[in-house]
Amino acid sequence: MAKITLVDDDENIVTSVSLALESHGHTVKAYYDGASGLAALENDPPDLAILDVKMPRMDGMEVLRRLRRASDVPVIILTSKDEEIDEILGFNLGADDYMHKPFSQRLLIERVKAILRRGGRGEGDEAPPPAAGDPNSRALKRGKLTLDPARHESLWDGRPVKLTVTEFLLLQSLAQRPGFVKSRDNLMDAAYDDQVYVDDRTIDSHIKRMRKKFREVDPEFDAIETLYGVGYRYRES
């Protein structure tokens, strides 16, 4: 079971999505405008948030922008617009996934399950313990970087860098093998469930946002290298 906050001004969507999520054991709190949704997200952080883009009082992109100042809660963006720029903006602001209306309830449930799994939560109340010897469960240190999956903690030169679930998994994949190039397909496999398709722009947007976070801590940060047309690699300093 997970706590999910749903923010959408369409009553029919709120009702149908809430029923679908609750039928899978999740607890849903629904809000009908961006300002109320943001206040709820800040005061009572859920395991996952679903945000519509076009809402009264504050749109979903602004809710996401403000939320990401202090929270790494996973976010799925919903929109009735079919414009590439909105999708890119959503990922640049730190969204974990993106769905166009109208959408299949079944597909939404699969996206929710995939994100919760990536964050260490399944269909039950608690995440299963990591398998013994699983390299993804151990703390990782590479130069100034320290990643602790058990605490979802990222440190650069001892200072915390707040990453979303997707960003953490991407960085972990790169840092596990310094100097080795990871293609975008490799990174998709590391950060996304097999049933979820994302394109190259999504990975690029996550990397761009992750670099920005590290440069806010260290303006000289250059540990993630781009090899144009090939992929990315982690350079251990």
How high is the pLDDT of residue 176?
92
How high is the pLDDT of residue 186?
86
Tallying the residues shown for the chain, one arrives at 237
Each residue's pLDDT tens digit, 44-92: 999 999 999 888 889 988 999 999 888 889 999 888 765 555 666 777 7
How high is the pLDDT of residue 218?
94
Below-50 pLDDT ranges, the chain: 122-133
The pTM score is: 0.63
Pair type for strands 27-31 and 3-7: parallel
For residues 143 and 123, what is the distance between their CA atoms, to the nearest angstrom? Answer: 36
For residues 64 and 84, what is the distance between their CA atoms, to the nearest angstrom? Answer: 18
CB environment 45-71: b (16+ within 10 A), e (fewer) = ebbbbbbbbbbeebbbbbbbbbbbeeb
For residues 216 and 214, what is the distance between their CA atoms, to the nearest angstrom? Answer: 5
